[in-house]
Amino acid sequence: MDLTFSAAEEAFRADLRGWLADNLPSAWREPGFWATVPDAEAFELRREWERRKFDAGFAGIDWPTEFGGRGGTPGMKAIYDEEMAHARAPSTVNSLGLAFLAPTIMAIGSEEQKREIIRPLLRCDVIWCQGFSEPDAGSDLAALRASGVADGEDIVVNGQKVWTTNAIHADRIFALVRTEPGSQRHRGISMLLIDMHQDGVEARPLRQMSGATEFGEVFFTNARVPATECLGGLGNGWATAMLLLSFERGASGILQYTSFRRAYDEIVRAARVLGRDQEPVLRQELAQRLVELECLRYHAMHVLTRVEQGADLGSESSMTKLQWSETYQDLFETFDNLLGSDIAIGSPVAGLDLTALQAEGFWSRSVTIWGGSSQVQRNIVAERVLGLPR
């Protein structure tokens, strides 16, 4: 057992902390700051922040240097996640590109794709969104119907994608499209890298129940994409998508722990102001949430250990998602319990600004849906980890 990071990793932490202290605007660290900034302006602030971070060498922490990364260890990536959450630095505006597209291109992309796509993505000069879900293909992704038909050197795309994070800000979309007419289920699908800035592509914002518009829908009407702008080969999109989704498996949960642990402390402060922090029943409930959060922290150390050993976590990552998402949601149910009758009021309550916690509470309803719903995750754990029959 060794729960320490190496000297090089701790030196990296010190560097990053110092840089954050000098560069992260103090206003950004205030809870609720981002709720005061209009969406479009917030996006540009965050994009600019990503560029500064890249230029300072704090992007792509565990990516090879040839792609503009820092060439660091998995431990450095965990430290990065932890420190960014501690400092309340904004999360990246290119999350899906960073987490999924870039590692897939590193693994199976052409040399040209590696050269052309990865560095601009990391610097957030090109923002990517992911076109997987459709109105009739959510958890059942293989039911997708967006079509692509060859026309000369191009593929002409028609159809609709939905729940697309960053749809209205994105420059390009990596989309699953049925390129073999009449094909069924997993066959005949391609992953196309489509330019959003063309007449045939329209992105519309979707307002979420929280009031924010982080996601949207994308309509393709005779949109064109060169046939060469395909990742993993034409007709091979399903395998490419599965590989792409597998890159979620390196995520340890440390980022979630760090930010949820702070939410716990904020909820405790609210309980104190509301005069409820000594109520035995609420104490038991809060403590139960803390137990699950600490278990998430231990689990993150387990995942990081496995990653450092070069293990493929496989379906085990479904457990990580279940633990953090369900715990997070439960935490905000506890928040609701301590608000009592004042739950009717948005903010402030008893002089306390609850804007940020209320927003998180609504947001928490989404985390058990996106990225594979809890129900899908439980199927995966039951069938692929426990070996229960389909």
Active site residues: 248
HSE at residue 4, side-chain half, CA atoms within 13 A, is 5
Residue 29 binds another protein, judged by CB under 8 A: no
Nearer to another protein, 23 or 305 (CB): 305
Q: Smaller CB distance to another protein: residue 40 or 287?
A: 287
277 binds another protein (CB under 8 A): yes
Q: Does residue 39 interact with another protein by CB under 8 A? A: no
Orientation of helix 316-339 relative to helix 280-308, angle to 10°: 160
Binding flag, residue 319, another protein (CB under 8 A): yes
Q: Determine, following the binding rule CB under 8 A, whether residue 46 of this chain makes contact with another protein.
A: no
204 binds another protein (CB under 8 A): no
Which of 105, 118, 132, 9 minimizes the C-alpha distance to 59? 118
The enclosing H or E element of 224 equals strand 215-226
- What span, in angstroms and rounded, lies between the C-alpha atoms of 213 and 238? 29
| DSSP class of 345 | -
Which of residues 322, 329, 355, 356 is near another protein by CB under 8 A? 322
Residue from the set 66, 294, 312, 336 that interacts with another protein by CB under 8 A: 294
Segment near another protein (CB under 8 A); pick from 35-43, 85-93, 189-197, 268-276:
268-276
Determine which residue in the list 75, 109, 159, 361 makes contact with another protein, applying CB under 8 A.
75
Q: Which of 205, 170, 198 minimizes the C-alpha distance to 38?
A: 205
What SS3 state is found at 88?
coil
Q: Which is nearer to another protein, 45 or 322 (CB)?
A: 322
Instruction: State the nearest-atom distance from the C-beta of 5 to another protein, in Å.
Output: 6
**Smallest distance, another protein to C-beta of residue 381, A:** 4
User: Among residues 144 and 319, whose Cβ is nearest to another protein?
Assistant: 319
Q: Is 290 in the site for another protein (CB under 8 A)?
A: yes
Write down the residue that tokens 């590193």 correspond to: 106
Q: Which of 42, 149, 352, 356 binds another protein (CB under 8 A)?
A: 352
Phi (first) and psi of residue 248, to 5 degrees = -65, -20
* 3-class SS of residue 21: helix
Which residue from 173, 304, 313, 354 is in contact with another protein, where contact means CB under 8 A?
Answer: 304
Dist CA 90 CA 42 (whole Å):
10
CA distances (Å), origin 210, targets 207, 303, 359, 371 = 8, 32, 6, 18
Instruction: Decide: helix, strand or coil at residue 148.
Output: strand
Q: Which residue has the tokens 């489509």?
A: 194
- 312 forms part of the interface with another protein (CB under 8 A): no
Q: Applying CB under 8 A, which residues contact another protein? A: 1-5, 75, 78, 264-265, 268-269, 271-273, 277, 280, 283-284, 286-288, 290-292, 294-296, 298-299, 301-302, 304-306, 308, 319, 322-323, 352, 375, 377-379, 381-383, 385-390
